[in-house]
Each structure stands twice: as C-alpha cells, then as structure tokens.
Structure 1
C-alpha cells in the first residue's frame, strides 16, 4: 500500500476549513498582523480590502486570519497581489486561492508550493500556472 497522497485541488469539495488550516500551518490574526507590521488595525483591514493580502476564517472561533507566509519582514509579499487577481479572475474564492498557493506541486522551481516558489523569486512561473487555471 502506497503512503503517497494525492494532492487536492481547490475545486475538491472534501477540502474544508480545517484542512486549509492544516495545509497553511502558521496563521496571523488581524491584531497579530498589526503588531508584527507595526501598523494600526485599520491599516491591516485596508490591506485586506485592497487585496494586498487574503484571509480566511480559521480556528474554533472562525477568526479572520492571514497565512504568515504571505509576509516578509517589510509587509505583504509584493508578488502576491497580481497572483491573487489572476486566480480570482479564474473565479476562485479566497479560500480556494489560499489553498492553491499552499498545495504541493513538485514541478515548480523554487519550492514545492506556489507560495514558496514566489518567495524564491519565481513569480512569473507561478503566474503562468495561475493563468492556466483561468482558462
């Protein structure tokens, strides 16, 4: 019996919020994010409204949280916003976009997930694959 798992796709209905929480791993609540970036809560909310960052409701209390991997030392990873837009144009929900960015794809350069590939400087390759999702 194989221990290899089949990667789940964002359209897989078996993927629930608990799976998303596990898939992403480290999350930051809005107050935690404000503290980490040294900005006001209203500024964090603006980042979410402007789609510089995406959030999901996670945890037992369904608290709005942002994947920690979406940030560097200075704030939101600049390459994410355009990728969010491309995937949203493919009619993906925010939860589906987050899942897509954290789903393993061993064929990507720079890391086994799209978000790791973006962090490693392979934004163009990730966006190319995101555009394929939009077709």
Structure 2
C-alpha cells in the first residue's frame, strides 16, 4: 500500500476508497497487496477502468479473475482488454465483458 499511496499521491484513506469503490483493483497473490502499474496513468486510476470493473463484478468476477481478464489477450478484441482501454476502446471492452455474464 505505501507504494500505491506514493504512486497516486493520495492519503491512505483515499486510496482505500478508490479500491472499495472499484476505481482500482488489486490482489494479494503472493502475500503482498499489489495493483498492476498499468492501471495507473499519470498518477490517477485509468478513468475507463471503473465502469469496466463494475461490469466484470456484475458478471461474477472476483478481483483476481478481473485482473487476469484485463491483462491477458482477449481473442474477440485482438489485444488485452487493458491495452484496449488505454487506446480508448472502452465500449468494445465493456461489450465483451458483458457477454461473459
């Protein structure tokens, strides 16, 4: 969490709120809580990530599954969903995510 607080330049309480409200997502796979760096752009959570995380949550994904889906190449998109979000293709990513439900 200290690295995340530093990367975002926000107090710990605000960072926890960003996680609780699904503006960011992280995982504790190896004992240490981590948020993929690609989810943070210019010191802020990627703006299109929030809605996409809500769609994935509605589809039944837990945090680990959502992270995996965002980072792995998706055949229907042709690249990883996070790369598509970074390119501004949020509608396409969310359409594919909705189809997963």
Shorter-normalised TM range: over 0.9
Higher helix residue share: 2
Counterpart residue number, 2:91:
124
Q: Deviations over 1:37-58 (max 9, x none)?
A: 2111111111111111111003
RMSD value, Cα: 1.3
Q: CA deviation at 1:106?
A: 4.8
Give 3-state SS (helix, strand or coil) of 2:33's partner. strand
Report the number of matched residues.
101
Give TM-score, length-normalised by structure 1.
Answer: 0.70
Counterpart residue number, 1:23:
none
Gap regions ≥5 residues in structure 1: 1-29
Matches of 1:106 and 1:51, distance apart in 2: 25
Matches of 1:31 and 1:91, distance apart in 2: 29
Counterpart residue number, 1:21:
none
Q: CA deviation at 1:74?
A: 3.5
Q: Deviations over 1:23-81 (max 9, x none)?
A: xxxxxxx210111121111111111111111110033xx11111111110040011011
Bigger radius of gyration, 1 or 2? 1
Give 3-state SS (helix, strand or coil) of 1:56's partner. coil
Tell me, yes or no, if the aligned pair for 2:76 and 2:96 is still in contact at 8 Å.
Answer: no
Are residues 1:77 and 2:58 paired?
A: no
Q: CA deviation at 1:105?
A: 2.3
